[in-house]
Amino acid sequence: MKNYLSDVRFLCPDESGLDRLLQSSSAEPFAENAIAFLHALSLALKNDPETRRYPDVATFAFFCRRANLIQLKRKYYTGKNPRLGRGVIFHITPANVPVTFAYSLVSGILAGNANIVKVSSKASSRADLICRVITRLVAEGEHAPVTSRLALVRYDPASEATAYFSSVCDVRVIWGGDATIAEIRKNSLPPRSFDVTFADRYSLCVINADKYVGEKSPERVAAGFYNDTYLSDQDACTSPHLIVWLGNDEHVATAKRIFWHHLHELAKARYTLQPHSAVNKLAIFYSQAVHLEGIRKTRMPDNLVWRTELTELPADIDKYRCSGGYFSEFKALSLSQLSTVISSKYQTLSYYGIEKPELIQFIAGIRPKGIDTIVPIGRTTDFSLTRDGYNLIDTLSREITIL
């Protein structure tokens, strides 16, 4: 084990706690001591002045509060049949959305497991803040029954540690692109263990222009869209890249003018465009121009918001994905027109001005291979214990049948 872990940095606890973690027993989902620990984490983050700098960390702290966890318990665990965590969960988490590692850890804890979490080695003040607060709670010792069953680690992707942690886990949770998942899967698992993968996905947004032109607070909708996209630099799988407009031509033209004006004002005030993003936008546009007919770039005051107008919706539109505020726009006659493009790569559909029954009818009608989540604009980053179609409590725990 020493050879495998020689280059691993244990953030908490130190390496000596790993054997205890591996030998620990599983707990039932939503155990009281798990809820107590996560509530303590919520309070500690809330009271840390640095949290105010990071809305996503504050949102995570809000998610972990006791009242929310009790509500989740009512929804996800009735206790009708006994369940226990599957054992040791090995989480391999991404760098593009720094707080993801914390939500992944919380899912494992609530499902009743011991958890080894590989935190990205890429510098992140958000991840560092959460790790620092967790380390402090571990040191205080008040929540030892839970904290003795977690380990936060960092190491280089080339390390042999992935092979070791894979060999001792009951479930391996992988967040990453297709290439990352394929590489990690070269490390074998025990016979009864399995992977839960959250691959790179593509998301879109649908706006009913007929409704938007009558919106009393159009800037509020644009602000929600800004949070869905620019806060993660449009790198999150939930961030929309394709914007589909519904409604008559006049309303669509008016809605576009209002919506993009408000979004640009927000980006101008809050967002800093990195040079590499500006270059990538140009490269993606050239690629679209070569492969797609009839596209054009819509004029904007600067490069903060890049809009590419499509005259048709190609089946491979998900290939033309770019971060930093790059959006492809298409006017559709109806939601059903999306049926030709929604593949298993599609994850989240955000919307404005569409009623829930219409969305239900849309899914029932086209039965898409993709789209696991449908939420109003502004809520794509909300974490749920149902993710990419997985009920994480059920998936990360096992039901015991008693006849």
Give the separation between CA 151 and CA 374, rounded to whole angstroms: 33
Element (H, E) at 328: strand 326-331
Residue 235 to residues 39, 61, 194, 251, Cα–Cα distance (Å): 29, 22, 27, 30
352, 221 in Cβ contact below 8 A?
yes
Label the pairing between strands 373-376 and 346-352: parallel
> Which residue intervals of the chain bear CATH 3.40.309.10?
202-376
Structure confidence at residue 16 as a pLDDT band (50, 70, 90): confident
pLDDT value of position 95: 85
Give the separation between CA 176 and CA 173, rounded to whole angstroms: 10
DSSP string, 263-278: HHHHHHHH----HHHH
Fold (CATH) for 2-200+395-399: Aldehyde Dehydrogenase; Chain A, domain 1 (3.40.605)
Give the separation between CA 398 and CA 28, rounded to whole angstroms: 9
Structure confidence at residue 4 as a pLDDT band (50, 70, 90): confident
For the chain, what's the residue count? 403
94, 103 in Cβ contact below 8 A?
no
pLDDT value of position 89: 98
pLDDT in tens, 215-245: 999 999 999 999 999 999 999 999 999 999 9
CA trace torsion 261, 265, 270, 273 (10° rounding): 60
Per-chain mean pLDDT for the chain: 95
pLDDT in tens, 37-70: 999 999 999 999 999 999 899 999 999 999 999 9
- Structure tokens of 357? 């029954």
Give the separation between CA 66 and CA 78, rounded to whole angstroms: 17
Give the separation between CA 40 and CA 47, rounded to whole angstroms: 11
Give the separation between CA 323 and CA 325, rounded to whole angstroms: 6
Sign of the Cα pseudo-torsion (180, 185, 186, 190, in order) = positive
Say yes or no to pLDDT of 189 above 60.
yes
**What's this model's pTM, rounded to 2 decimal places?**
0.91
Specify the amino acid at residue 243: I
Residue 266 to residues 79, 222, 246, 280, Cα–Cα distance (Å): 46, 8, 24, 21
pLDDT in tens, 109-149: 999 999 999 999 888 999 999 999 999 999 999 999 999 99
- Please state the rounded mean pLDDT for residues 96-109: 95
Give the separation between CA 397 and CA 378, rounded to whole angstroms: 31
Fold (CATH) for 202-376: Aldehyde Dehydrogenase; Chain A, domain 2 (3.40.309)
Structure confidence at residue 1 as a pLDDT band (50, 70, 90): very low
- Please state the rounded mean pLDDT for residues 370-394: 95
Of 317, 304, 345, 313, the closest CA to residue 331 belongs to: 313
> Which residue intervals of the chain bear CATH 3.40.605.10?
2-200+395-399
